[in-house]
Chains A and B, each alone.
Chain A
């Protein structure tokens, strides 16, 4: 009895009136919300983009950072959301919310199917298998160019740029509206991720990452748990893709290419694998770095290659991972 009380007092259960981890995350979100009142119009747009892409990275990290499964094919889930929403809007005349739901649902279905197949492999084979499936999906967007318009892509316009929510009209061409929708999506996904990784299920995800056989011998169905992680991760990535299509009104095959599978890996590695806020930090820094580089050279992907190498060789824990190791051990 007393041992249990001691542990509770030491915060081993991580709950209480003063939940510093939750407060930290709320504070970071509050700063992101507040930024819109100090930055200019151009920054509104690029930060909105960053927040949508950061949502993608948060989703990627649930599988890679917490469950320890390195996918090289997440672009297929992002693209499932992107095309699900984009084609729903342009071909089937769905409204903004319905298109978003169509995108998220596409990601849910695709990640379930891919998970059932790809999770029969582990390690390097899993990486190659996900990469191949993503490549097949990319080629499919080109093959069905009649509907997707391939590399050229679809530009969304007209009614799909307006939506009505809670009885109020919103104009998706307005930078302020876009900023706040992107912020809302990111905030929801960050809080979902935080709740997940601090839940009993989150502890099982980490256990699978650390020692899968032992997790099985503690009575956990590791296949089902990994499938759950992949589906949550894929669906969140699809939600980011759907939001990207609807907010920025463009759907193109380049978002399904291998580059968009590598980018979330890079963002997560930079920010810190297995940290809730790491992907947000990583996306923010890398986005501006690539943006800056592309003003000077068309070979801006060089930055991506160099960053990947540096992180893998010298800095595998990333920014927040290193911070957690050295300074704030309680960071989730």
Chain B
């Protein structure tokens, strides 16, 4: 008070005003203090500065509609709480004498929500210590007795790092949340998450469970360590860590103390939560879980609705985010061209995810995670409801389900005696868009979200002015946003402004009158009173008395039908199936059949495909039930097999961090949505050998797939296939073209490359001899398989010295190099390759792209073939793979290979190299029905694949392709119009933008690229 008078300006103020101002100041202080003074009982160990203020916080909320849980709604019920806990919640609850009673007539009470995927109260992990041009980092930078990999942070406990943060808590509370499972979202193993409330109490009281779950992901986060730098590397690291942790239980002396593994093991007791980025990551995570007997609770990415049966098969409980993709601005057609149909469809369908999960009976929680602004949360829940989610399920997904899977349903998730006093008071059903959320109570502490409307003043009143007249006035609208009008012959709209119990109103007396009666006063129950000014500005007293309820009818809640959406597509791109096709029996009549067998080329021949196999070859075959395809004037060949491909791979084709990464598997990272599957089918490709890249001497395990458009990753794989692995030699392996900072990884010379192999296989041999109790090493397991001819090598190679070298290494360890790929100097050592038993998969005519290809010649394939090496022509390139038949034809041009032998280089020869020539690669009874009907001689530039058939299914058909184009155009147009109308409605939009498809060549270290050709 004294300070105020020190200011001369203050001295001019009236005494009365000064008092008022000072009271305002102390009010501000009080507000700040209220944050600390809470109803949860004080902590015994904490000293009190001042007078102890123990309170039990006993409240009774009467006459409310209490929704105890999604199944139970009680009318006219009472909720009683004390000491931050629920005492009772039922219609006949006894109101304790010391309870503060709050009348909640007309209001709804719900349990506060639980968000199971939050990082509330945790600071963001920082990436430290490494700049872009730093040299490679082979080991963890984490100091202490922890594990080797920086991305395995199982020792991190959110509870140790947790500090309450009211700024972050407030918006969550406003969205309805009371409790969150919080984690530091950093690393592949993220350690444990803590279950905490959003009350502004000391952390000691806010923490409900210190370690409530363990969390994992495929994202290495802030780790500066090189390994892993691909998705398949992340998966391999997880797998190996499960094994290492198992082994660590035996207290191996060799390992010493490893706090990361120790924590990993301890964390296994907890619910295991896995953050997946999309539907395929969900399946990847679930697969790892299956391998190690873990059922993850899976945080979804938002596009899982595209594969509901697969999601259901995981048996997981899901955590569904609600960050639906924003509308795209399609106004500029030149830019709109760069928005894919898949992205437009995802925009349309994403809000239907939760509804789809409910329909399929897949258990799930909802989370506000991933939302840019948590304020959007309730609106998005409503959107999910509009798209098919039931309100009951929505409530369950925000209360009981998360509480139950965290084993905390005894504490939160419903309104039952004994549970925390975490509840919401709302003006109506919680998910109705008219409903106002008034208060969120957490651990018995009240947080006011909106006070307007708490007192419902709607009704018809008689306002009497003294001196003056009486007026009939109606207050309508909503409780929190009332509207006022004067009831006369013409109803005149006035104004009302309510602030707690204070009210100010203005009453016009005539239509379009500029002056009105202005009144200000207080609401005391059904009678109001105060002072004001009449239209002449004279001071008046006034009062208002409630007469009757308003005549306004409550607007019936319109339930809009769920939006009608376009069809799901398999794969989810423009060229997907609306319904996965069924195998059919087909008879191709009267074609020129290139058998690749001793029968050679058969003219005017029929081929019958039945049950996915080639059933009969001959003339005038009877069709039976088979669909007949006229092959007159056309050519039928076996499907093209690309021995070296990198299509349909997600998030990295190279685990380039170490020289030996035999543990990583392409099989883990297939991307069935890649549009290149369709594009290559249009070029007659039916199977592709998906290889790891060539960044290291021993790369990852490869995967042979068939181009079964629309199937999931597992069903793309060719079953019962001899496993293969990628090796690489030369410039890529020794990092010749990686820039100046990459000069420290061993090896940097071809001499070193040889030693990498010798060392790896020596280690593998010793490993195999180790007795019981050995640490299972997935890298060495793969190498042991090679030693036993149970896994086969495809080796990227260029110059003769290195080719010789690897064959020598193989000889000395008694295994065989199955295939040399690229092998551009194979012609120099073809005799040695033949003697060794190695095959070749090469380019037709590539050269001059780097130093080690200076002696590459287009005659290479012809020479190797003539010397007797099994030779294939392959692509390593998504574009070239579409015309491998033409690349094969170049061996006719360069080296005079016969047409039939040339065709074999992309059919039966790669089948031989991949050990599947007993079922693919030629037209022979009993083999897989993988065939291509060509418009012309398949070796001619003028030949088009008209039909490409895989396992007896017509996967590509040039006539059907025309229909697909029309469908794409129509669907694009439909969605474009929808997006345009969305913009017109005022929905915020984001600019149309191009997103590159994932595409790789074997030397790509990071992303792929759309058109350019890599080294």
Chain A complexes with chain B: no
Q: Which residues of B contact A (CB under 8 A)?
A: none
Q: Which residues of A contact B (CB under 8 A)?
A: none
